[in-house]
Chain A
Amino acid sequence: NAGVTQTPKFQVLKTGQSMTLQCAQDMNHNSMYWYRQDPGMGLRLIYYSASEGTTDKGEVPNGYNVSRLNKREFSLRLESAAPSQTSVYFCASSAGGGGNQPQHFGDGTRLSIL
Chain B
Amino acid sequence: GESVGLHLPTLSVQEGDNSIINCAYSNSASDYFIWYKQESGKGPQFIIDIRSNMDKRQGQRVTVLLNKTVKHLSLQIAATQPGDSAVYFCAENMLGGYALNFGKGTSLLVTP
State whether A99 touches B98 (Cβ < 8 A): yes
Binary per-residue interface labels of chain A (78-114) against chain B in the complex, 1 for a CB within 8 Å, 0 otherwise = 0000000000001010000111101111111000000
Contacting B102 at CB < 8 Å: which of A43, A97, A108? A43
The total number of A-B Cβ pairs within 8 Å is 65
Interface size on B, residues (CB 8 A): 26
State whether A42 touches B41 (Cβ < 8 A): no
Chain B residue with minimal CB distance to A3?
Answer: B43
Chain A residue with minimal CB distance to B5?
Answer: A42
- Chain A interface size, as a band, is 20 to 34
Residues A107 and B42 in contact in the complex (CB < 8 Å), given A42-B105, A43-B89: yes
Within the complex, the shortest CB–CB distance from A106 to chain B, in Å, comes to 5
A105 to B91, CA, bound (A): 14
A45 to B99, CA, bound (A): 7
State whether A99 touches B97 (Cβ < 8 A): yes
Chain B residue with minimal CB distance to A102?
Answer: B46
A48 to B99, CA, bound (A): 8
Within the complex, the shortest CB–CB distance from B94 to chain A, in Å, comes to 6
State whether A108 touches B43 (Cβ < 8 A): yes
Chain B residue with minimal CB distance to A94?
Answer: B98
State whether A99 touches B104 (Cβ < 8 A): no
The CB with the most chain B CB atoms within 10 A, among A33, A45, A106, is that of: A45
Within the complex, the shortest CB–CB distance from B88 to chain A, in Å, comes to 11
| Given A4-B43, A45-B99, 11 new contacts (CB under 8 A) | A42-B4, A42-B104, A48-B99, A50-B98, A92-B43, A99-B99, A99-B100, A102-B49, A103-B100, A105-B36, A107-B43
